[in-house]
A and B are shown apart, each in its own frame.
Chain A
Amino acid sequence: MTTTTTTNPMVSQPYLVREVAKETSDTFTLTLEPESGANGTSFQPGQFSMLWVFGVGELPISISGHPSERDRLVYTVRSVGQATHALVSQAAGGCVGVRGPYGTGWPAEKAKGRDVIVVAGGIGLAPLRPLIYEILSNREAYGRLTILYGARSPRDLLYRKELTAWARQRDTQVLVTVDYGGLAWRGHVGVVTTLFKYARLQPSRSTAMVCGPEIMMRFVARELEAHGLARPDIYLSMERNMKCGIGFCGHCQYGPHFICKDGPIFPYEQLRPLLEKHEL
């Protein structure tokens, strides 16, 4: 859970867009490679970068690729505003600035020897994907892997092929649900917390890592506790408006914490008193 930066953390490095893959109607996965051709930056699952679309703006985006693929950085971006739209509209060969990686990562080392419960909502699966890759690449080091994933509707599900492939891995259970399903949908319908009753959990030997909208994470954390997980074994990834990425500007202040520097991954125990405060 350390922070890695380039020499001057405020200076972007130029990266070339290698590929833009459409995931859903508004969500795209970009693969970037360093313009210099050098072996790219290493990162910890859960960390983010600041991506600069020249002439438009800079955005904090979680890294969603494989931690061992050091020649590239992969980001899954939902197009919801001017800057994200400009980012996902990049053509192959386009150039963007990259700063980072920044922030704390998922406690992958600490979770070794334990079962891991991954709970994701919507695009929250993107920052968790590197962790899933890490676990599946070091399968012997971890116990059972349970992935619970909720999305708005079947057409909003990310990484559908990978979800199917992960479900085929040994000691891995993947449960997917949607909030709204048409009659053709044959999977689960209901919020992500409704999946817990189908999960085969061993709470006392599990570490849970959760990413999604804040209210969803609150409900999930409560559900995990109700299933017997200890608070120190639950981790959440927080999101606020980040600008500098290194704790200078204060835009992402959350109580006594800066999300960019002290987070985005926090132990639930640390966040719990803040999560229930109004307008924080």
Chain B
Amino acid sequence: MENLERIIAEHPFFAGLDHRFMTLLVGCASNVRFEAGTYIFREGGEANEFYLIRAGKVALEMHAPQHKPIIVSTLGEGEILGWSWLLPPYHWKFHARAVGDTRAIALDGKCLRTKCEENHDLGYELVKRFAYIVDQRLEATRLQLLDVYSVR
């Protein structure tokens, strides 16, 4: 448990987190490992966790009829994977596949949702941190949409 707490505390997503919240998080956390090629989750599945990536790389994929599947983004060491656990109806919107062997800390979303309802300070802290990630990824997606390297 102590080791898990140290790993979570050292992850950039939780940098500077108050110790009283850390204790609450550790109770919902577990170490996980995915072999290269494994699907961590699939679009439409229940979103009941998120991941702090410690090593490796994860591809977020979109599969659409009459289109080749594409990777829309990759996430690596120091990043977080998944925020659908936080928002109803708690379903994944993409596929996530481990590109290489990947190690992560999984945080149980159901467990965290309960703790956030009981402790709004923890909930607010988590939402602020997720909002920052959403803002970063939204900006990157907008730039991606511009397709700046195409011929005009």
Interface 9-residue window, one of B3-11, B25-33, B66-74, B82-90: B66-74
Contact partner of B140 (CB less than 8 A), chosen from A121, A151, A193, is A193
Assess the A152–B61 pair: CB atoms within 8 A.
no
Contact partner of B144 (CB less than 8 A), chosen from A183, A190, A212, is A190
**CA–CA, A232 and B127, complex, Å:** 36
CB distance from A119 to the nearest CB of B (A): 13
**Max count, chain B CB within 10 A of own CB: residue among A78, A179, A187, A188:** A179
Whose C-beta in chain B lies nearest to the C-beta of A81?
Answer: B151
CB distance from B10 to the nearest CB of A (A): 15
Task: Decide yes or no whether A181 CB sits under 8 A from chain B.
Answer: yes
Task: Decide yes or no whether A182 CB sits under 8 A from chain B.
Answer: yes
**CA–CA, A259 and B119, complex, Å:** 58
Assess the A191–B68 pair: CB atoms within 8 A.
no
Assess the B73–A189 pair: CB atoms within 8 A.
yes
With A181-B70, A190-B73 already in contact, the answer to whether A216 and B143 are too (CB < 8 A) is yes
With A190-B74, A213-B148, A213-B149 already in contact, the answer to whether A219 and B68 are too (CB < 8 A) is no
B interface size (C-beta, 8 A): 26
Task: Decide yes or no whether B147 CB sits under 8 A from chain A.
Answer: yes
Note all chain A residues with C-beta closer than 8 A to B73: 189-190, 194
A selection of 28 A-B contacts at a CB cut-off of 8 Å is: A78-B151, A80-B151, A122-B148, A122-B149, A152-B149, A179-B144, A179-B149, A180-B70, A181-B59, A181-B70, A182-B69, A182-B70, A183-B70, A185-B71, A186-B57, A188-B76, A189-B72, A189-B73, A190-B144, A191-B143, A191-B144, A194-B140, A197-B78, A198-B77, A212-B148, A215-B143, A219-B139, A219-B143
CB distance from B145 to the nearest CB of A (A): 9
Assess the A182–B74 pair: CB atoms within 8 A.
no
Assess the B149–A121 pair: CB atoms within 8 A.
yes
CB under 8 Å from chain A, chain B span 98-152:
99-100, 139-140, 143-144, 146-151
Note all chain A residues with C-beta closer than 8 A to B72: 180, 189
A-facing mask of B39-65, CB < 8 A → 1, else 0?
A: 000000000000000000101010000
Note all chain A residues with C-beta closer than 8 A to B61: 183
**CA–CA, A137 and B57, complex, Å:** 33
CB distance from A143 to the nearest CB of B (A): 23
**CA–CA, A189 and B148, complex, Å:** 15
Task: Decide yes or no whether A239 CB sits under 8 A from chain B.
Answer: no
Whose C-beta in chain A lies nearest to the C-beta of B74?
Answer: A189
Note all chain B residues with C-beta closer than 8 A to A189: 59, 71-74
Whose C-beta in chain B lies nearest to the C-beta of A78?
Answer: B151
**14 extra A-B contacts, CB within 8 A, seeds A180-B72, A188-B57, A191-B144:** A26-B151, A80-B151, A156-B149, A183-B59, A185-B71, A189-B59, A190-B140, A190-B144, A194-B73, A198-B76, A215-B143, A215-B148, A216-B148, A219-B139
CB under 8 Å from chain B, chain A span 137-183:
150-152, 156, 179-183
Note all chain A residues with C-beta closer than 8 A to B76: 188, 198
A-B pairs with lowest CB-CB distance, top 6: A122-B149, A152-B149, A213-B148, A181-B71, A189-B71, A189-B74
**CA–CA, A181 and B61, complex, Å:** 9
Whose C-beta in chain B lies nearest to the C-beta of A183?
Answer: B69
Assess the A191–B70 pair: CB atoms within 8 A.
no
Note all chain B residues with C-beta closer than 8 A to A179: 144, 147, 149
CB distance from B59 to the nearest CB of A (A): 7
**CA–CA, A189 and B139, complex, Å:** 15
